[in-house]
């Protein structure tokens, strides 16, 4: 059963936008690291590290985008559809490590505060904010149809939030000489990154571990299939996501005694119903007539 998918932005366009976004990220990373070292701002350095990790994430996402388009082969019969899922795991894991490092640094700064140049801190963060906004605009359209691009897009949005936080911190230091705001905002930014990274990692691992997609109830699938005439039982069901778009379903379906040629219509009905109700794109059914002793759903 063939299905067409409109991915909104072509691969070449997505690749170009990823490249431009990567260059912006690395440029602002260098600027923020230099500015952070000169001003003494930990939150500015944390924002720079976040930007750097996003630059690496963009590279990984770009490679995954290319691998995902490779055709199927005798060795990889599904193609390399999960390359982008692996990219998401790598990117989010890196962010988790960086977040814990920044939390430790912020903890140390609470007890040993350092003098920070608030004016320079605000200026550099403002440049970073502009670059992050430009990056989000470049990837906004593609993020609507690709989890890979969406993860990068969300990273850039979090960068923008980080830059705003750094500007606020710089203002507090410049006007009120409140230095504890810097490590405090570093903690808040790190916790936000941890939360986002956890969600991405959780979803990606669910795909890798072939978990049933959230929001799809196997009992509901069973009810839909059993409503089809001549279907008596559904058992040995497997449901998983191949990647972010394709949901696969396979099962043993017990039918009334009939020739094999007669099962074609039943298969088409099952495919249609599962696609309409659950957006399942690939259905594999083993028809049988009272063959399995154990007929549990899973």
Domain range 218-288, its CATH number among 3.40.50.620, 3.40.718.10, 3.40.50.720, 3.30.70.1350: 3.30.70.1350
Q: Which residues contact 231 (CB under 8 A, 6 or more apart)?
A: 225, 253, 254, 255, 266
- Comparing CA positions, the residue from 192, 117, 102, 122 lying closest to residue 164 is 122
pLDDT of amino acid 37 = 84
Q: 3-state SS of the chain?
A: CCCCCCCCCCHHHHHHHHHHHHHHHHHHHHHHHHHHHHHCCHHHHHHHHHHHHHHHHHHHHHHHHHHHCCCCCCCCCCCCCCHHHHHHHHHHHHHHHHHHHHHHHHHHHHHCCCCCCHHHHHHHHHHHHHHHHHHHHHHHHHHCCCHHHHHHHHHHHHHHHHHHHHHHHHHHHHHHCCCCHHHHHHHHHHHHHHHHHHHHHHHHHHHHCCCCCCCCCHHHHHHHHHCCCCEEEEEEEEEEECCCCCEEEEEEEEECCCCHHHHHHHHHHHHHHHHHHHCCCEEEEEEECCCCCCCCCC
pLDDT of amino acid 225 = 97
- Distance from C-alpha of 98 to C-alpha of 93, rounded to nearest angstrom: 9
The token duo for 132 is 């992050």
Spans of all domains in the chain: 11-208, 218-288
Inter-residue contact 25 to 52 (CB < 8 Å): yes
The predicted-structure confidence for 72-85, as pLDDT tens digits, reads as follows 999 999 899 899 88
Q: Dmax over Cα atoms in the chain, in whole Å?
A: 84
What top-level class would CATH report for the domain 11-208? mainly alpha
pLDDT of amino acid 122 = 79
pTM, full prediction: 0.75
Q: What percent of the chain has pLDDT over 90?
A: 28
Q: HSE-up of 179 (CA within 13 Å, CB side)? A: 13
pLDDT of amino acid 115 = 63
Reported confidence tier of residue 14, pLDDT bands at 50, 70, 90: low
- Find the Cα–Cα–Cα–Cα dihedral 64, 66, 68, 70, rounded to 10°: -140
First CA to last CA distance, the chain: 24
Inter-residue contact 190 to 99 (CB < 8 Å): yes
Inter-residue contact 177 to 113 (CB < 8 Å): no
The predicted-structure confidence for 21-69, as pLDDT tens digits, reads as follows 888 878 888 887 888 888 777 767 777 777 787 787 788 888 888 888 8
């Amino acid at each position: 059963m063939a299905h067409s998918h409109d991915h909104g932005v072509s691969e070449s366009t997505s690749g170009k936008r990823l490249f431009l976004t990567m260059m912006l990220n690395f440029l602002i990373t260098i600027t923020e690291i230099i500015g952070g070292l000169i001003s003494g701002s930990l939150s500015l350095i944390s924002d720079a590290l976040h930007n750097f990790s996003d630059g690496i994430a963009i590279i990984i996402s770009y490679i995954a985008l290319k691998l995902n388009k490779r055709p199927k082969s005798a060795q990889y019969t599904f193609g390399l559809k999960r390359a982008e899922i692996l990219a998401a795991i790598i990117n989010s894991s890196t962010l988790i490590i960086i977040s814990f490092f920044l939390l430790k640094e912020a903890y140390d700064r609470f007890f040993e505060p350092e003098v920070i140049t608030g004016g320079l801190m605000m200026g550099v963060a403002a440049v970073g904010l502009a670059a992050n906004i430009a990056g989000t605009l470049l990837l906004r359209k593609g993020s609507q149809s690709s989890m890979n691009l969406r993860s990068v897009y969300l990273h850039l949005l979090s960068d923008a939030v980080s830059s705003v936080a750094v500007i606020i911190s710089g203002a507090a230091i410049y006007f009120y000489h409140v230095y504890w705001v810097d490590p405090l905002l570093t903690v808040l930014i790190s916790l936000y990154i941890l939360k986002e990274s956890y969600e991405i990692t959780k979803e990606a691992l669910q795909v890798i571990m072939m978990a049933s997609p959230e929001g799809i109830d196997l009992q509901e699938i069973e009810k839909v299939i059993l409503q089809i005439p001549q279907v008596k039982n559904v058992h040995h069901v497997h449901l998983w996501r191949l990647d972010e778009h394709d949901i696969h379903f396979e099962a043993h379906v017990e039918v009334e005694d009939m020739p094999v040629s007669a099962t074609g219509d039943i298969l088409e009905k099952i495919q249609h119903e599962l696609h309409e109700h659950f957006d399942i794109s690939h259905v594999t059914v083993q028809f049988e007539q009272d063959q399995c002793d154990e007929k549990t759903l899973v």
